[in-house]
Chains A and B, each alone.
Chain A
Amino acid sequence: MSNIVTTEIFTSFQDYLHSEQNIREEIRQIVKEIEKNAREILTVLQVIHQENSAQEISSSCYKARQLFEEVQSNYTKLSEVVPTGQYYRFNDHWKYVTQRLCFLAALTVFLEVGILVSISTVAEILGVSTNSSEFHLDLEDYLMGLLQLCSELARFAVNAVTSGDYERPMQISKFVGELNAGFRLLNLKNDSLRKRFDALKYEVKKIEEVVYDLSIRGLKPDYSSKTNIQEKGTE
């Protein structure tokens, strides 16, 4: 008799698992597409590290914006597949690619207007809701993206100097400095975000070194003009 009961219990569970796996499979397919978009955007934006790319930056930002439109439609698809109120049940699938896209969106905005993008703007760029009861952008994923942005900017600072752009490291230094101050306000738990944040100081250091190198050689834009005057004065 008990056999019938247990069979019934397990059959319904099997059905449950089966339908869950179907959803996961669908999600995986869409996430694969989004990952592809993210790689394309990353490739497009890599132009910043090329020599003498200053003119191309705005056009690659434009390209990135176009690719973000594809991302938007993919996220819309994703939000239709994920049942409402169960965002975090399947969150693992798109977590990493979302972090990466946050980074890319933040980089695009930085290149365009030089400011730190807010979470709501990123959500808009990705085409997801800002309301946490719907398919939204997780705050920690966004913050993770910002930290990724910092390491990319550290590299950018070095390469900008190579191509003779001495303004850029100053802008990056200020930007990352502010970001660092912001992150210090957060009460982080001992989690992955915390670990990633701990790496930020090395990136800050790297950027400062670049600025330092420029400064002592009088290559720092505003500073060099000042010293020129001073030098003239003493002469």
Chain B
Amino acid sequence: MSASRGHKNGNYNKYKKDHSKLSIGDKRKELEEHVDENNKVIQMFRQYTLELDAKHDRYERIVKLSRDITIESKRIIFLLHNAATDIDKKKEQIYNEADLRLNQLIEKNFKLLSIELHGQDPYLYLRAYTAGLQEFIEALLYYQFLRYGSIEPWKNLITKFQYSISNSDNHNDDKTNTEVCMTVPPMEFFLGLGDFTGELLRKCINSLGSGNIEECFQICNYVKDIYTGFLRINCSGYKDLGRKVYVLKQSLQKMEYACYTIQVRGSEIPRHMLATVVNTVTNPDVGHEEDEGFY
């Protein structure tokens, strides 16, 4: 048996040898295993690797930054939902905290982001930070709405995102500051605005729960205005925007129905019961499609 095995092996080796003589795969293998650094193609690709890696790394760093912004923005929104109390002092306190945290985001996280984007084409990395940016805009608008009853336009927003960064770490050198600006395409602002109306829906239903009916109507009217504004815009070709407007319409209809219920049945149901009634009426066809867990 051993003999036959030996025979087999011998044969195998022979074939292998023959094969290797003829094989042209060897050349490729050689190329792969011993990368010839003097080869022009290899040198070229070494350069491309550097470029490609730099881009991928930057992209990942931006995704990370964006994620931090998203989380903090969601927390701020949650905090603001808690501001629905009658005690003015507590309200003020929450507003101040939200303001502080929003400013921190601008001063810290967005500054890092804009440094990362400095000298780059921001549109190349837009997909990496669009989520964080939209969430931030949502939080900011919600804060502005709660505190001042109105929102600031896009133009005011971009003025917040201007930083000057000193070029030299060395304090002795005379500092040459570079103006760095965070790019916020208007589209992002309006996508954030769409999300913001989702928060208004929550706020509207919540205020119903706390018996603040006046506010409920007020918010509903405000969202009506926003919806009218969106209708003016031609959304064709902008998938994201179209989707946001669709969701906005649904939210608005829920609010309108809530207001209708108050008007029709408000006199026959005690105030504290209204919220339950409205919820049972609006929720069945709504399902649980809320995008975030904060209710």
Contact = CB atoms under 8 A, between A and B. Distances in A.
B232 interface: yes
Interface range, A side: 35 or more
A88 B44 CA distance: 24
Contacts of B222: 2
Given A2-B222, A17-B234, A187 B40 contact: no
A115 interface: yes
A214 to B, nearest CB: 9
Contacts, number: 124
Given A6-B226, A10-B230, A178-B41, A21 B237 contact: yes
Given A16-B186, A88-B123, A184 B153 contact: no
Interface string A184-198: 111111000000000
B233 A13 contact: yes
B234 A12 contact: no
Interface residues of B, number: 50
A73 interface: no
Taking chain B's interface residues, is the majority helix, strand, or loop, or is none over half, making it mixed?
helix
A116 B186 contact: no
Contacts of B42: 178, 181-182, 185
Contacts of B150: 1-2, 5
A139 interface: yes
Across the A-B interface, the 5 shortest Cβ-Cβ residue pairs: A182-B45, A10-B229, A88-B123, A89-B123, A88-B124
Interface of A: 1-3, 5-14, 16-17, 21, 85-89, 91, 115-116, 118-119, 132-133, 139-140, 143, 173-174, 177-189, 204, 208, 211-212, 215-216
Interface of B: 22-25, 27-28, 31-32, 35, 39-42, 44-46, 48-49, 51-53, 55-56, 119, 121-124, 126, 149-151, 153-155, 185-186, 189-190, 222, 225-226, 228-230, 232-234, 237-238
